[in-house]
């Protein structure tokens, strides 16, 4: 049997381990990316390794998420990040150049490469036949040292696309359909590989909408073949030399197959508060919409925004709607401006925002109390927009524009009628205007060594976890339900995001919206254990959802299941992720129960641990779903200690 594209790329980067799905494989990583609200910890960790320069082919530091300088903290972070990048040979994409994933695919990505990014939507790069994996910031620091990276060998699922999208139906509908089929946790351990004539018909930015939001499936990654569409895109970016054709074998073997006929798709909507709560847009109960946001890395390509602008043409934003648009890159913004689409948006009363993530991660444009917000971004968790009372619905840019006009959920066809077919004529430009003047290139190594790293008062040292105790006795400091997201653990917003370089400060807001008394309680308890339900730690890759609890003394998380990236972050930051062997034991445990684990250090390598609930006088078993390498990291007390040990050994 032939090979999938995913398998071919992993094989070409193979260093050691097993290529059987579910087993641990070590691979070489070509590229890394980081962004401003997660990266300070990455570069502090890289500094702590003592290396002078990154050992990847290319690493890029994007200053893109939080451009709202409400006080000194974010500019402190940006200055630190820019100076650290210069010091270590990392490119910097300056504020205003664009959102990391969009810029990375356009200016740095290449088919067949492996990239790891400190952001869960890193698989965006799968749109050009790269294998791109979202990881925690500590993993990015590790990848930058050039050591082979561990990966659980994924199952590869073929998604066979047939037919073609109708005008008014967006690539967003494809990924919403996938979410309906697979659910938010069904993708765990999988790479989704898109194939077929339907896949061939999609342009690179349409593919990026799908691979980007594959993160919402809980998947390791998503990928499209590097075919004629990719060649066309790279040529339009004046980078045709980066193109190599890379396809799965015709008889490629897959672990499963899903089929979607693009011609049958109709506008869909994801309803609060999970991305997989999907239904046909025409069936959703009509409610007054308070806010519309057309933006984010997911859905603001040239064609996306041009189509939204055409829906607005001759109409105006409803007087009860606040409608904003944040375009993902400076390049796209300029193309849209040149072709008159920005003017159409302005004429319709759309408020143009700065080129950044902004509202997608609650940096501005928080909805009103109980407000209904309709967004083209990728997440609709409670509180994701900065207000836990708000209800976020996710749609395509065409549907968002129609909604802004009519003031309630609507599709492009509802506004344009038969004229909707003109949207089918809109495509990406044959040539983009290329201007990399907002990208700072790395200095030669000797010059870089002289660069001084600038640390403003917001840059606090990276906290390092303790080595696990052999006999642990600790109370339960929090009992959470299912689907706790990293947004629940470490809230998004301009205010909170700017605290991420300052753990003593930020930890005070850990679980701020979900369990406001948690931080004070955990601190008072000294050490403690968190109990969680299904899919604990889903969502954003932010490792602060591990660092802050660790700083507050949390030693283990025992949950029914734990999301992939968050599990990695817990391991990296010295919190042991444990899974109930019998999920019914979850119901027996209460807040403040005293739990005890004896001989923990001997039990960890067996991956089965007996926990005693001293308060209720019963014992239960938990499993550690850890690879051999992760076991070593846990026993070492986290990734930084482990990495230093590894580097010291390799220098002997």
For residue 582, give every residue at least 6 positions away whose Cβ sits within 8 Å of its Cβ, in sequence order, or none: 620, 621
CB closer to ligand F3S out of 360 and 640? 360
Q: CA 103 → CA 122, 238, 366, 614, distances in Å?
A: 12, 14, 26, 53
Q: Does 29 interact with ligand F3S (rule: CB under 6 A)?
A: no
The least CB distance from residue 606 to ligand F3S, in Å, is 39
Nearest to 442 by CA among 93, 45, 13: 93
The least CB distance from residue 378 to ligand F3S, in Å, is 5
Q: How far apart are CA 224 and CA 210, in angstroms?
A: 10
The least CB distance from residue 65 to ligand F3S, in Å, is 6
Q: Which residues pair with 119 in a beta bridge?
A: none
Q: Are 118 and 34 within 8 A, CB to CB?
A: yes
CB closer to ligand F3S out of 76 and 216? 216
CB closer to ligand F3S out of 277 and 486? 486
The least CB distance from residue 500 to ligand F3S, in Å, is 13
Q: How far apart are CA 92 and CA 71, in angstroms?
A: 22
Of 91, 121, 150, 513, the residue at the interface with ligand F3S (CB under 6 A) is: 121
Q: How far apart are CA 624 and CA 604, in angstroms?
A: 7
Interface size with ligand F3S, residues (CB under 6 A): 13
Residues 141-160 that bind ligand F3S (CB under 6 A): none
Q: Which segment (99-107, 169-177, 367-375, 410-418) binds ligand F3S by CB under 6 A?
A: 99-107
Q: Which residues pair with 594 in a beta bridge?
A: 475
Q: How far apart are CA 175 and CA 111, in angstroms?
A: 22
Q: Does 210 interact with ligand F3S (rule: CB under 6 A)?
A: no
Helices and strands, counts by H and E, the chain = 25, 27
Q: In what order do the strands lie in the sheet with 14-17?
A: 14-17, 24-27, 149-152
The least CB distance from residue 40 to ligand F3S, in Å, is 16
Cis amide prior to 226 (ω within 30 degrees): no
Q: Are 194 and 247 within 8 A, CB to CB?
A: no
Q: Are 63 and 36 within 8 A, CB to CB?
A: yes
Residues 289-318 that bind ligand F3S (CB under 6 A): 296-297
Q: How far apart are CA 188 and CA 185, in angstroms?
A: 6
Q: How far apart are CA 601 and CA 287, in angstroms?
A: 55
Of 377, 403, 490, 639, the residue at the interface with ligand F3S (CB under 6 A) is: 377
CB closer to ligand F3S out of 271 and 297? 297
The least CB distance from residue 357 to ligand F3S, in Å, is 3
Q: Does 361 interact with ligand F3S (rule: CB under 6 A)?
A: yes
The least CB distance from residue 377 to ligand F3S, in Å, is 6
Q: Which two tokens stand for residue 499?
A: 């605290």
| Number of C-beta neighbours around residue 343 at 10 A | 12
With tokens 């690879």, the residue in question is 627
Tell me which H or E stretch contains 47. helix 36-49
Nearest to 633 by CA among 567, 580, 571: 571
Q: Are 394 and 294 within 8 A, CB to CB?
A: no
Q: Does 378 interact with ligand F3S (rule: CB under 6 A)?
A: yes
Nearest to 71 by CA among 459, 494, 354: 494
CB closer to ligand F3S out of 345 and 357? 357
CB closer to ligand F3S out of 296 and 458? 296
The least CB distance from residue 580 to ligand F3S, in Å, is 31
Q: Are 486 and 570 within 8 A, CB to CB?
A: no
Q: Which segment (265-273, 355-363, 561-569, 640-648) binds ligand F3S by CB under 6 A?
A: 355-363
For residue 141, give every residue at least 6 positions away whose Cβ sits within 8 Å of its Cβ, in sequence order, or none: 42, 43, 45, 46, 49, 643
Helix (H, G, I), strand (E, B) or coil at 333: helix
The least CB distance from residue 66 to ligand F3S, in Å, is 9
Q: Does 127 interact with ligand F3S (rule: CB under 6 A)?
A: no
CB closer to ligand F3S out of 177 and 542? 542
The least CB distance from residue 384 to ligand F3S, in Å, is 9
Helix (H, G, I), strand (E, B) or coil at 601: helix
CB closer to ligand F3S out of 377 and 485? 377
CB closer to ligand F3S out of 393 and 518? 393
Q: How far apart are CA 569 and CA 559, in angstroms?
A: 15
Q: Does 65 interact with ligand F3S (rule: CB under 6 A)?
A: yes
Q: Which segment (97-105, 125-133, 178-186, 437-445) binds ligand F3S by CB under 6 A?
A: 97-105
Of 357, 372, 453, 503, the residue at the interface with ligand F3S (CB under 6 A) is: 357
Q: Which segment (135-143, 341-349, 356-364, 556-564) binds ligand F3S by CB under 6 A?
A: 356-364
CB closer to ligand F3S out of 330 and 555? 330
CB closer to ligand F3S out of 213 and 570? 213
Q: Does 63 interact with ligand F3S (rule: CB under 6 A)?
A: no
Q: Which residues pair with 292 in a beta bridge?
A: 323, 374
With tokens 């451009």, the residue in question is 67
CA angle 543, 549, 552 (to 5 degrees): 140
Tell me which H or E stretch contains 45. helix 36-49
Of 119, 304, 398, 488, the residue at the interface with ligand F3S (CB under 6 A) is: 119
The least CB distance from residue 105 to ligand F3S, in Å, is 12
Q: Are 145 and 643 within 8 A, CB to CB?
A: yes
Q: Which segment (161-169, 353-361, 382-390, 531-539) binds ligand F3S by CB under 6 A?
A: 353-361
The least CB distance from residue 38 to ligand F3S, in Å, is 10
CB closer to ligand F3S out of 65 and 177? 65
CB closer to ligand F3S out of 212 and 535? 212
CB closer to ligand F3S out of 206 and 377? 377
Q: How far apart are CA 347 and CA 341, in angstroms?
A: 10
CB closer to ligand F3S out of 8 and 379? 379
Length of the chain: 652
Q: Which segment (98-106, 148-156, 301-309, 343-351) binds ligand F3S by CB under 6 A?
A: 98-106
Name the site residues for ligand F3S (rule: CB under 6 A).
65, 99-101, 119, 121, 296-297, 357, 360-361, 377-378
């Amino acid at each position: 049997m032939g090979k999938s594209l995913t398998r071919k790329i992993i094989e070409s980067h193979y260093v050691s381990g097993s290529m059987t799905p579910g087993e641990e494989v070590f691979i070489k990583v070509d590229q890394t990316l980081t962004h401003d609200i997660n990266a300070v910890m990455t570069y502090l960790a890289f500094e702590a390794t003592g290396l002078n320069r990154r050992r990847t082919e290319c690493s890029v530091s994007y200053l893109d998420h939080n451009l709202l300088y409400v006080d000194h903290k974010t500019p402190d972070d940006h200055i630190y990040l820019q100076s650290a990048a210069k010091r270590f040979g990392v490119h910097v994409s300056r504020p205003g150049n664009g959102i990391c994933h969009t810029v990375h695919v356009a200016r740095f990505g290449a088919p067949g490469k492996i990239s790891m990014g400190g952001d869960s939507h890193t698989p965006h790069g799968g749109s050009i036949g790269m294998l791109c994996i979202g990881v925690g910031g500590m993993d990015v620091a590790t990848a930058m040292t050039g050591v082979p990276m561990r990966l659980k060998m994924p199952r590869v699922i073929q998604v066979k696309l047939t037919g073609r999208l109708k005008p008014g139906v967006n690539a967003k509908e494809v990924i919403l359909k996938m979410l309906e089929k697979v659910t938010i946790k069904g993708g765990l351990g999988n790479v989704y590989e898109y194939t077929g004539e339907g896949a061939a018909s999609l342009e690179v930015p349409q593919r990026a909408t799908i691979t980007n939001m594959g993160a919402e499936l809980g998947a390791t990654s998503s990928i499209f073949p590097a075919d004629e569409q990719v060649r066309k895109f790279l040529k339009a970016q004046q980078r045709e030399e980066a193109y190599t054709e890379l396809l799965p074998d015709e008889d490629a073997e897959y672990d499963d197959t899903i089929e979607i006929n693009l011609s049958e798709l109709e506008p869909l909507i994801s309803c609060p508060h999970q991305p997989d709560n999907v239904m046909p847009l025409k069936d959703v109960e009509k409610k007054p919409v308070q806010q519309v946001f057309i933006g984010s890395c997911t859905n603001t390509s040239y064609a996306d925004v041009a189509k939204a602008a055409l829906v607005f043409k001759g109409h105006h934003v409803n007087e009860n709607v606040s409608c904003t648009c944040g375009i993902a890159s400076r390049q796209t913004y300029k193309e849209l401006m040149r072709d008159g689409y920005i003017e159409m948006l302005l004429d319709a009363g759309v408020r143009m925002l700065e080129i950044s993530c902004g509202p997608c991660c609650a940096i501005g444009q928080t909805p009103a109390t109980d407000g209904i917000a309709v967004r083209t971004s990728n997440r609709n968790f409670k509180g994701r927009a900065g207000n836990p009372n708000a209800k976020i619905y996710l749609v395509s840019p065409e549907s968002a524009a129609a909604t802004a006009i009519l003031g309630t959920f609507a599709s492009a066809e509802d506004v344009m009628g038969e004229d909707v077919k003109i949207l089918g004529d809109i495509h990406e430009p044959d040539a983009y205007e290329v201007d990399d003047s907002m990208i700072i290139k790395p200095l030669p190594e000797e010059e870089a060594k002289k660069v001084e790293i600038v640390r403003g008062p917001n840059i606090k040292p990276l906290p390092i976890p303790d080595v696990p105790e052999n006999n642990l006795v600790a109370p339960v400091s929090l009992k959470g339900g299912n689907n706790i997201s990293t947004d629940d653990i470490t809230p998004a917003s301009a205010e909170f995001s700017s605290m991420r370089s300052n753990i003593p400060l930020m930890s005070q807001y850990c679980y701020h919206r979900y369990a406001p008394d948690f931080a004070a309680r955990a601190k008072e308890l000294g050490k403690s254990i968190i109990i969680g339900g299904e899919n604990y730690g889903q969502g954003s890759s932010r490792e602060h959802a591990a660092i802050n609890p660790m700083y507050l003394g949390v030693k283990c998380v025992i949950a029914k299941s734990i999301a992939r990236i968050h599990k990695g972050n817990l391991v990296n930051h010295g919190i042991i992720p444990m899974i109930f062997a019998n999920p019914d034991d979850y119901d027996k445990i209460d807040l403040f129960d005293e739990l005890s684990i004896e001989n923990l250090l001997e039990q960890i390598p067996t991956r089965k641990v007996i926990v005693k609930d001293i308060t209720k006088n019963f014992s239960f078993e938990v499993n550690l779903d850890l690879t051999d390498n992760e076991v070593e990291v846990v026993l070492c007390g986290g990734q930084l200690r482990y990495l230093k040990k590894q580097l010291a050994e390799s220098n002997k």
